Amino acid sequence: MKGAARAAPFSFLAMPLSFLDELLSAADQGLRTLAGVASPSRPMPGERAAPVADARHVAGLMRVNHAGEICAQALYSGQSLMARDPAVRAALHQAASEERDHLAWCRQRLRELDARPSVLDPLWYAGSFAMGLVSGAAGDRWSMGFLHETEAQVERHLEGHLDRLPRDDARSRAVLEQMRDDERRHGAMGQALGAAELPLPVKRAMQLVSRVMTRTAYYV
C-alpha cells in the first residue's frame, strides 16, 4: 500500500553485541593468559634477592600458585559471561584484574628461579572455564557461593605454602602474602554480593579437584 511504512529488513548488524563482545573478550583474555603476556597493574611485592637455599622446592610451590592463577582467570571469565547482575559482572572483572597481577608475579618469580610454568596450564584453564560457566549458569547467588568457597580454599592453600617456604625466601613470601590478602578480599566480595552456601558434597569435590591440580602442577 502506498504511503504505508515498510518494515526494516532483518540484519545481524542490528542484533545486540554485548554477549558477543564478552565472548570475544574472554577468548582474547584466555589466549593472553596462556601465552604469559599478562602485565601487572601493581608492582611485584618484595625485593629481588639472592638465590634461595632450596630453589627447586620453591619453584614447585610457585608453579602450583601460577597454575592456580591460571584457574582463577578462567573461572572469573566463565562466571562473568553468565552473570545476570551488572554489579556481579563488574566485581568479577575487578577481581580478575587483580588476579592477573598474581599471575604475572608468579610467572616472574618462576623466571627468577629459572623454572617453567606447568605444561598442563591449558588443561587447568579449560576445566576452570567450564566450572565458571556452570556455576554462573546456576545463578548469581550460586556463582558467588562458588567464588567465596574457592577463595576460602585458596587462602588456606596459600597459608600452607607460606609455612613451607624456606626462611630465606623473602621475595616469594611477600608475593604470597599479598595474594592471600587479595583472595580474602575477593571472598568477602562474594559474600557481600549474596553468595549462597554450597552443599557439602560440592565443597568436597572442589577440594578433591584442587588436590589433584596442586600435586600434579608441583612436578609437571
Contact 69, 121 (CB under 8 A): no
- pLDDT class of 28 with cuts at 50, 70, 90: confident
Check pLDDT > 90 for residue 23: no
Given this model, what pLDDT does residue 19 score? 67
Provide the residue ranges of all domains of the chain, joining segments of one domain with +.
54-217
The pTM for the full model equals 0.86
* DSSP 3-state percent helix, strand, coil across the chain (nearest 5): 70, 0, 30
Residues 6+ apart with CB under 8 A from 212: none
* Mean confidence (pLDDT) of the chain: 88
Q: Residue 107: helix, strand or coil by DSSP?
A: helix
Q: Does domain 54-217 have CATH number 1.20.1260.10?
A: yes
- pLDDT class of 1 with cuts at 50, 70, 90: very low
Given this model, what pLDDT does residue 38 score? 74
Percent above pLDDT 70 for the chain:
91
